Amino acid sequence: MRSFQTERWTVDKTEQPLTTHPHVIQASLWIKKNEVIAIPTETVYGLAGNAKSDEAISRIFEAKGRPSDNPLIVHISERSQLEGLVSSIPETAKKLMNTFWPGPLTIVLPKGDEVSEKVTAGLSTVAVRMPDHDIALALIEASGVPLAAPSANLSGKPSPTTADHVYEDLKSRIPGIVDGGSTGVGVESTVVECANDLVTILRPGGVTLEELEKVAGFGHVVVDPGLENEKHAPKSPGMKYTHYAPDAPFVLVDGSPEFLQGLVDKEREAGRKIGILTTEERMDFYKADCLIPAGKRSNPETVAQHLYEALRAFNEANVDQIFGEVFPKEGVGVAIMNRLEKSAGGHIVKE
């Protein structure tokens, strides 16, 4: 493992033009040398490298400690960059791009000749999105190449929504972090695949099924039935291996607050230090060694925004066990529960 004196470059996205910002230029020079840097997007921070360079992609996997059979998402700043990355674009995919780009939607397309084979993990497709973040777009433009960018965390850990999170995980592993402040959406992009008029959700995220269904001209929007089947080769990130896990064992509790509290009491009586991942509405109900809210239950978007931050906060509390509430699987709640179930490694206790 190579070692770096990791720099932090603060960029205010209100400063214009961003493409000539000294820190954007400095970061882009590392990209041009096939190194990898952390960049902000509207979802989470990404670990970015030249999507056309095998050398850069290998360095992404090395820095993250990520298995190389997990494909990466390629980020572009304009539609013209799809040329060479993909071999064709279905009409349904074009409708999605017109509606949701730039934004937290990744589209899986037939791959072209110019994308690194390491990006696609041997698949015949490549996942592409256009981030809705001025700094990310400026970095792609300044670098002159599309950027492959998985989340900028150690593999398996909660994704980073601040530059501090990135530094905590990747200090000395990468040359630099572009600090653009906190991200907005908080969970990764939705990943979809298009076939004729059928849109299949491969990973739930920042664009909901309901929002996809509203796009005029769609026949069907469905969720991939193999989404949680770990035996299949992944078509999208987040479909293989345990993700987003805090250091302590994490268990989801599908039941009433009283049932969850009973589980906590039993563990504390045995002398264990217990944490609860909850919401602002229930902070006064629970009794535990560490209570951390991930937004408001009445506003699921706030839960998505603060989910990874909350999971990381338990590491500082040094708890022995974490219990977490479940959320309705509707709207962004589908993405929230996908991440929570991955964090828990599928461990759910039902009342």
Binding site residue list for L-threonine: 43, 75, 129, 149, 189
> In terms of DSSP H, where are the helices of 81-214?
91-100, 117-120, 134-143, 163-170, 209-213
Task: List, in sequence order, every residue forming a beta bridge with 39; answer none if it has no partner.
Answer: 46
Token pair, residue 16, equals: 């214009």
Q: If DSSP codes are grouped into helix, strand and coil, which group holds residue 33?
A: coil
Q: If DSSP codes are grouped into helix, strand and coil, which group holds residue 158?
A: coil
> In terms of DSSP H, where are the helices of 149-248?
163-170, 209-213
For residue 235, count other CB atoms closer than 10 A to its CB: 22
Q: Which residue ranges are tagged as binding site? A: 43, 66, 70, 75, 125, 129, 149, 151, 159, 189, 203, 244
Q: Which residue ranges are tagged as binding site for ATP? A: 66, 70, 125, 151, 159, 203, 244
Closest CA to 335 of 210, 190, 226, 220: 190
Closest CA to 187 of 208, 212, 166: 208
Task: Say if strands 46-50 and 37-39 run parallel, antiparallel, or are unpaired.
Answer: antiparallel
Task: List, in sequence order, every residue forming a beta bridge with 48; answer none if it has no partner.
Answer: 37
How many Å apart are CA 68 and CA 121, to the nearest integer?
7
314 near 275, Cβ under 8 Å? yes
For residue 198, count other CB atoms closer than 10 A to its CB: 14
What is the CA 249 to chain-centroid distance, rounded?
21
What CA–CA distances, in Å, run from 46 to 40, 161, 179, 195, 277? 6, 9, 11, 28, 25
